[in-house]
Amino acid sequence: MPSLVPREELEAVVVRFAGDSGDGMQLIGGRFAQVTALAGNDLATFSDFPAEIRAPAGTTFGVSAYQINFGSRVIKTSGDAPDVLVAMNPAALRVELEGLRDGGLVIVDSGAFTERSLHKAGYESNPLADGGLAKYRTLEIDVSKLTLEAVKDSGLSRKEALRCRNMWTLGLVSWMYGRDRQPTIDWLHEKFAARPELAAANVAALDAGHAFGETAELAEAGHAYTVEPAHLTPGLYRTVTGGEALAWGLVIGAHLAGLKLVFSSYPITPASQVLHTLANLRQYGVVTFQAEDEIAAICASIGASYAGSLGVTSTSGPGLALKAEALGLAVSAELPLVVVDSQRAGPSTGMPTKTEQSDLHQAVFGRSSDSPLVVVSARSPSDCFETAIEAVRIAIKYMTPVIVLSDTYIANAAEPWMIPDVDGLPRFPVKHRTEPAGFHPYLRDAATLARPWAVPGTPGLEHRIGGLEKDFASGDISYDPANHQRMTEARAAKIAGVADDIPPQGVEDGQQHGRLAVVGWGSTYGPISRAVGNLRDEGLDVSHIHIRHIWPLPKNLGDLLGCFEHVLVPEMNTGQLTTLLRSAYLAPVEGLNKVSGQPFRIAEIEAAIRTRLGA
């Protein structure tokens, strides 16, 4: 519990934990996010880690970082420039210092700044001694030594003992922000239940770091803060990552449809968390299948949907490319299917652990021939839940594949989420066709143009389908020219008709008309929202429009964009939504494009808005 020390009150703060990929930075970041959420703050996190599981220790390319932005106000991004950088070694300092705001606080483990580690990080001289940190406030603490002292009675080897440095650091940072450490202590006892000596050592390190704040009189030095709880909508909350929310959304979506969920996937960064989460839900009847490759994963999903379950697969950009032919089959066979694409930086293997939004064109267009399907996108970790349910709803109602676009940032980021009441969510139960009279496999529903879902096992509805073109009426194989024209048009019309079944495009923030609309999709929601909000506070005429339904686009979107003098589309690709909007509406849409593998900063979007408005 917070002691009676003088604490400076902050509205929001950004802390970045950085260390070697083996230093446990993601772990303490996650624990700090948990206690921060429990303290009632709003928050957003961002994991920035290398693709290498254990890069050589002490190297700059092995640096793993976890950033958290938390506050008493609504938090929309993981923060631009950190206020506090925790650097566990010279490499982390070297990589991360540039991002720290001027005057920010650097906390370093001075014990890790040995000649050898400095050399490994590429430092010619010690930045702690040569004035390299002059722009910042610094807290140089020999965390290594203090950790060893704290755990000396644990019986751990020196190497094992030093691994508790992260907990010592978490203890210190917890003290700085007045965070309760009991939930972390409970968690450590649970995690190390089989090795109580490790639990005890970690708790000792955590306690020692916490006590250090008190005994070293850091409060007097101006390093103690308080961040009041945020004014969140009343309700029950938890933190959730995009991967978890997506998995749970799929489970709940299948439940609302009354279907068994069959999820087939092949491991790929950053999508694997969805597979891991679902694989642990067999007690809810969830079937997961780790296929031999990306193609088998989608094919098994198609087979599952054909047999009457909800077939779902999950991947990232290169995997989606491999699934393209099977997606064409699902389009032709007109079967429900949900495909999750957690986008990452490409092309090819690219930067697998870095974020990008560059699969929009692949999702909308990336198949042979005219093969229309539905594409939706999630804007934040918690939004993945609703987006997944929406994808399930559309897939089964329209007998179509639906691609859900997420990305690396969303997949790994965590934020508080008000937990919905599952019983209060609208159901959309599936009725498989059972009536033989008048049955033809491709006879379409007049309203949705969807064909009936007739499932093997149903007496009297035996029929054959496939990737060959079907006769519009009978569903038999047909090479008739006019029929192919008609079927191609029917498939397109079915997907276009989904636009009648989605909410009209609204404006997130600002007027329905004006000088500038900033139009985003996916994970750019946070930075655009904050940037537009900040500049509207200054009185600038700017609005924020955020699109969930990428294809088909909302029916009113063209008219809405026409109400603005300028349209700016920030996206983490070289202009894919920009191109789509231009071609759909012949609108003078301008792109703001970033492909560094890092999310937009609020300041970058603010600067672009100011430029457009001459402000």
Span 17-46, contacts to another protein by CB under 8 A = 34, 37-38, 40
Q: Does 152 bind another protein (CB under 8 A)?
A: no
| Residues 325-344, interacting with another protein (CB under 8 A) | 325-326, 328-329, 333
Contact with another protein (CB under 8 A) among 115, 131, 194, 283: 283
Q: How far is the CB of 303 from another protein (least distance, A)?
A: 3
How do 374-377 and 401-407 pair as beta strands?
parallel
Site for another protein in 532-591 (CB under 8 A): none
Residues 263-282 close enough to bind another protein by CB under 8 A: 264, 281-282
Least distance from another protein to the Cβ atom of residue 268, Å = 17
For the CB of residue 274, give the shortest distance to another protein in the complex, in Å: 15
- DSSP letter string, 290-338: E-SSHHHHHHHHHHHHHTTSEEEEEE-HHHHHHTHHHHHHHHHHT--EE
Q: Which of 7, 255, 491, 549 binds another protein (CB under 8 A)?
A: 255
* Alpha carbon 72 to its chain's center: 23
Whichever of 274 and 286 has its CB closer to another protein, that residue is: 286
Structure tokens that stand for 180 in this block: 């309760």
**453 vs 461: CA distance, rounded Å:** 10
- 320 touching another protein, by CB under 8 A: no
Give me 491's structure tokens: 């498939």
Torsion angle, alpha carbons of 443, 446, 449, 455, to 10: -50
Task: Pick the closer one to another protein by CB: 117 or 458.
Answer: 458
d(CA 15, CA 32) in angstroms, rounded, equals: 10
Helix spans in 82-181 (H): 90-96, 115-120, 143-150, 158-162, 165-176
Could you say which DSSP state residue 522 is in? G
By CB under 8 A, tell whether 289 contacts another protein.
yes
Between the CA atoms of 565, 566, 567 and 568, what dihedral angle is there, to the nearest 10 degrees? -160
Q: Considering only residues 262, 375, 487, 557, which one is a binding residue for another protein as defined by CB under 8 A?
A: 262
- Min. distance of Cβ 172 from another protein in angstroms? 22
Of 296, 391, 399, 567, the residue at the interface with another protein (CB under 8 A) is 296
Q: Which 3 state secondary structure label does DSSP give 513?
A: coil
Report the nearest approach of another protein to the CB of residue 242 (Å).
Answer: 15
Amino acid at 411: A
Q: Quick one: which of 74, 125, 158, 284 contacts another protein (CB under 8 A)?
A: 284
**Which class for 387: exposed (0-12), middle (13-18), buried (19 or more C-beta within 10 A)?**
buried
**Residue 197, phi then psi, degrees to nearest 5:** -70, -30
414 binds another protein (CB under 8 A): no
Task: Please report how close the Cβ of residue 493 comes to another protein at its closest, in angstroms.
Answer: 25
The partner residues of 337 in beta bridges, in order of sequence, read: 401
CB neighbours (10 Å) of residue 244?
22
Please report how many Cα atoms fall inside a 13 Å half-sphere around the Cα of residue 535, on the Cβ side: 29
Residues 42-71 that bind another protein (CB under 8 A): none
**Minimal CA–CA distance to 246: which of 68, 413, 374, 30?**
413
CB of 591 to another protein, least distance (A): 36
Nearer to another protein, 420 or 558 (CB): 420
Closest to another protein by CB, 5 or 443:
443
Amino acid at 361: H
CB of residue 283 to another protein, shortest distance in Å: 4
Residues 193-232 that bind another protein (CB under 8 A): 229, 232
CA angle 117, 81, 351 (to 5 degrees): 65
Q: Is 324 in the site for another protein (CB under 8 A)?
A: no
> Which residues, numbered 347-386, are part of the site for another protein (CB under 8 A)?
none
DSSP designation for 599:
P
Confirm if 351 and 318 have CB atoms less than 8 A apart: no
- Residues 102 and 12: their CA atoms lie apart, in Å, by 17
Q: At its nearest, how many Å lie between another protein and the CB of residue 410?
A: 18
**Least spacing, CB of residue 525 vs another protein, in Å:** 22
Least distance (Å) from another protein to the CB of residue 165? 24
Instruction: Indicate which single residue of 22, 267, 420, 558 sits in contact with another protein (rule: CB under 8 A).
Output: 420
Q: Does 191 bind another protein (CB under 8 A)?
A: no
116 in Cβ contact with 47 (< 8 Å):
no
- The secondary structure element, H or E, covering residue 134 is none
Q: How far is the CB of 145 from another protein (least distance, A)?
A: 33
Q: Is 115 exposed, middle or buried (0-12, 13-18, 19+ CB in 10 A)?
A: exposed
From the list 63, 106, 170, 252, which residue makes contact with another protein (rule: CB under 8 A)? 252
Length of the chain: 615
Shortest CB 462 distance to another protein, Å:
5
Residue closer to another protein, measured from CB, 391 or 580: 391
Q: Does 506 bind another protein (CB under 8 A)?
A: no
- Binding segment toward another protein, per CB under 8 A, in 104-112, 114-122, 245-253, 502-510: 245-253
Q: How many residues bind another protein (CB under 8 A)?
A: 74
* Residue closer to another protein (CB basis): 5 or 461: 461
Of the pair 419, 584, the CB lying nearest another protein is at: 419
Q: HEC string of 60-78?
A: HHHEEEEEEEEECCCCCCC
**For another protein, the closer CB: 152 or 231:** 231
**Tokens 């489970």 sit on residue:** 251
In angstroms, the CA 269 to CA 340 distance is 13
Q: Which of residues 86-145 bind another protein (CB under 8 A)?
A: none
Exactly one of 133, 185, 291, 613 binds another protein (CB under 8 A); that residue is 291
Which residue, 240 or 602, has its beta carbon nearer to another protein?
Answer: 240
Q: Does the footprint of another protein cover residue 170 (CB under 8 A)?
A: no
- Quick one: which of 106, 151, 300, 374 contacts another protein (CB under 8 A)? 300
| Residue among 52, 153, 180, 293 that touches another protein (CB under 8 A) | 293
Task: Measure the CA–CA gap between 247 and 161, rounded to whole angstroms.
Answer: 36
Closest CA to 66 of 130, 134, 15: 15
Q: Where are the alpha helices (H) located in 497-575, listed in sequence order?
A: 525-537, 557-561
Q: How far is the CB of 262 from another protein (least distance, A)?
A: 5
Site for another protein in 428-487 (CB under 8 A): 455-468, 476-477
**CB-nearer residue toward another protein: 455 or 613:** 455
Among the listed residues 196, 222, 285, 562, the single contact to another protein using CB under 8 A: 285
Cβ contact 411:241 at 8 Å? yes
